[in-house]
Structure 1
């Protein structure tokens, strides 16, 4: 019984110390595993794979792969720099923000649709 307690005590001392040394060894030798950013390909294979793997029982937005009820509910991929403009026919578009005032891009699109711009 004493031998069992002695072995258990020894393991409790050795295992944490071993783990610490492995951590420091990896830190100082640069062997720590890091996620490398994946280089985007020059073709559309990656996107097609993501599109085909997406599960959606409603409408799958082609530019964000979001699953929504209707096409005009699709979000913009970059809302910080894009304005979403919904058209009367149930479609939508994301356009670069005008930068001057909120809704400037939508106003310009409406003027263009009317032939005034």
Structure 2
């Protein structure tokens, strides 16, 4: 009976310790894995071409965001936090960096450039 109590006590102490070590091993990836640095993006356009070709769109596929819209001027800007969208009369659009200008300043500068004043 005393041996049974000893074995039971030993198991109750050993099991949580084993689980704890397994937790830390999984958390830190074990000793076999080495930490890898992220890779730089490729310098060719193969990844983008694969994404473009795999995108399904039965209307207009925006080239910058791969969004599917009805018309080209409906395309969103890829970085709306720092870009203003300017729509042109011919149904096209452009995303212009805000560059710290006041609201609407990008559209005004584009209009001045179109008139040859900038």
How many residue pairs get aligned? The number is 104
Q: Tell whether 2:112 aligns with 1:111.
A: yes
Q: For 1:13-52, list aligned pairs within 5 A.
A: 20-27=20-27, 29=30, 37-52=38-53
The 5 Å alignment of 1:1-117 reads 20-27=20-27, 29=30, 37-117=38-118
Instruction: For structure 2, list consecutive stretches of 5 or more residues without a partner in the other structure.
Output: 1-14
Report the Cα distance in structure 2 between the residues aligned to 1:20 and 1:97, rounded to whole angstroms: 52
Per the normalisation by structure 1, the TM-score is: 0.73
What is the CA RMSD across the aligned residues, in angstroms?
Answer: 2.8
TM-score between the two structures when normalised by the length of structure 2: 0.73
Cα 1:94–1:20 shift into 2, 3 Å: same
Structure 1 alignment gaps of length 5 or more:
1-14
Q: CA deviation at 1:27?
A: 3.0
User: If you compute each CA radius of gyration, which structure gives the higher value, 1 or 2?
Assistant: 2
